[in-house]
Structure 1
């Protein structure tokens, strides 16, 4: 398409909004309205309404009173993109094998607009097991999946995820002890916690890592002790099986991302 044809279909308001998003994505710490205007060589008045709309739609947030910064809404939308759908697709046989070996159900979750969202699920092979429906939105604060998704992101991304979750769920962000727990999870490599929703269940969760080492998904086994299956793996053995599967999925995720960017 030549320049004349391109100009014919211009959408100035859309261009202005995209200019703002692309600029904010390239800086740390946000920018004031005046700084945005200066960098884009426009009048500050041109951006007031656009910034207001981007804030109201959740793509941009105000920090420190007068600075604008990107939220993780675009990141959340990206989770619906093809690579994530492929992740759920090629995770299926590995999750099925994990269920068979551990005798437990398992599910895969990603971050999407303030919540952990289940994108794949595998039932336990026998008639006892805890499962969560695909499409379920679960808390970042009191679930193994949520803890993993927060623990394996950068400090800045973690803050934005927590802020977005607090807004969407009307919850107050946790104190220093919660952040310390996330750091411990990252150092340990997995989460093990008593379920806040179901008595007798332990959430065992591990990260699916992208090529850059950041968490892109959480694999969780809602572990229950099976008294009628004495040969079933215990909780320590189940953690080992979970970590092995998560490592395999991380390898596949890295290969998949690399192949889509070649």
Structure 2
């Protein structure tokens, strides 16, 4: 631990990163600024400021206005920070529901979001049984073989799903795993109709999972709330109960996030 603290103390700030944020801060104080004005504010040469601005423009964070080469911030920073706030709110809103359902069912619960062609767990509640799913916050799994992955994709257009999974290799974790995108797309139609997704021993032999979609204020599915349990504890009555609990919790979280459909 001491070595880690010493290493942190030795980290030197990266000057180019500091200059970029200095430019962003300067742009946030005024609707539009020119290169000369910005270079004076951040005490950096005009050529350097110009290069940074052109890169930020290419990335979509600034726009160039008129013929006088004045620059202004776009809404991309706002969009980025809004997403971060959504996920902070998401965990705080989901936590009490997940704890309650965990106490009722004694099974494992996960909150997951899309990360590229996979899902990443941002919160979890462990099962109270010895026989349980092994997972961790920050852990990843594929979209195509998980219940959360299916609810994240189900309401998206087919072209979107194909694009997201265009470079994905469908690796069979079990004999139940989808082997191609056509098989997945067929199931996604059902997931959309029924309002929940199921992983029927597709990611891990002997493990089932149910997930319900969580919507943001624009009505887009931004996360999945899931419950996992061993197949040996499966009954139709439990499945129906678990599905209802997840859908009710997901609907409440969505409403608090501002979902227009709630």
Structure 2 length-normalised TM: 0.63
Q: How far off its partner does 1:128 sit?
A: 4.1
Question: Contact 1:106/1:220 (CA < 8 Å) preserved in 2?
Answer: yes
Per-residue Cα deviation, 1:176-211 (whole angstroms, up to 9, x for no partner): 332121122112110123122332221101111112
Q: Aligned pair 1:192/2:198, yes or no?
A: yes
Give yes or no for the alignment of 1:6 onto 2:48. Answer: no
Closer, same or farther: CA 226–157 of 1 in aligned 2, 3 Å: same
Q: Distance in 1 between matches of 2:206 and 2:106?
A: 16
The answer on whether the counterparts of 1:107 and 1:120 sit within 8 Å (CA) in structure 2 is yes
Q: Identify if the C-alpha distance between structure 1 residues 176 and 253 changes in structure 2 by more than 3 Å, giving closer, same or farther.
A: same
The answer to whether residue 208 in structure 2 is matched with residue 202 in structure 1 is: yes
CA contact (8 A) 2:145 2:202 kept: yes
**8 Å Cα contact 1:208-1:217 kept in structure 2:** yes
1:78 CA drift (Å): 6.8
Aligned partners of 2:138 and 2:211: how far apart in 1? 18
Q: Does 1:254 align with 2:241?
A: no
* The one of 210, 217, 238 aligned to 1:211: 217
Correspondence 1:113 to 2:116: yes
236-245 vs 193-202, greater mean Cα deviation: 193-202
How much has 1:113 moved relative to structure 2? 3.1
How far does the alpha carbon of each residue in 1:155-187 deviate from its partner, in whole angstroms, 9 at most, with x for none?
A: 4543332236559xxxx9933332121122112
CA contact 2:113–2:120 (8 Å) conserved in 1: yes
Instruction: Note the residue ranges of structure 1 that are not aligned, 5 or more in a row.
Output: 24-39, 42-73, 256-262
Greater C-alpha Rg: 2
User: Structure 1 stretch 133-142 or stretch 122-131: which is displaced more?
Assistant: 122-131
Say if 2:141 is the partner of 1:138.
Answer: yes
Counterpart check, 1:16 vs 2:54:
yes
- RMSD of the TM alignment (CA)? 3.5
Return the alpha-carbon distance in structure 1 between the equivalents of residues 129 and 89 of structure 2. Answer: 27
In structure 2, the CA distance between the partners of 1:79 and 1:88, relative to structure 1 (3 Å rule), is: farther
- Which of 175, 185, 189 is the aligned partner of 1:179? 185
Given that residues 148 and 191 in structure 1 are in contact (C-alpha distance below 8 angstroms), is that contact kept between their aligned partners in structure 2?
yes
Checking the alignment, whether the CA contact within 8 Å between 1:122 and 1:131 is kept in structure 2 is: no
| d(CA) in 2 for partners of 1:97, 1:125 | 13
2:246 corresponds to: 242
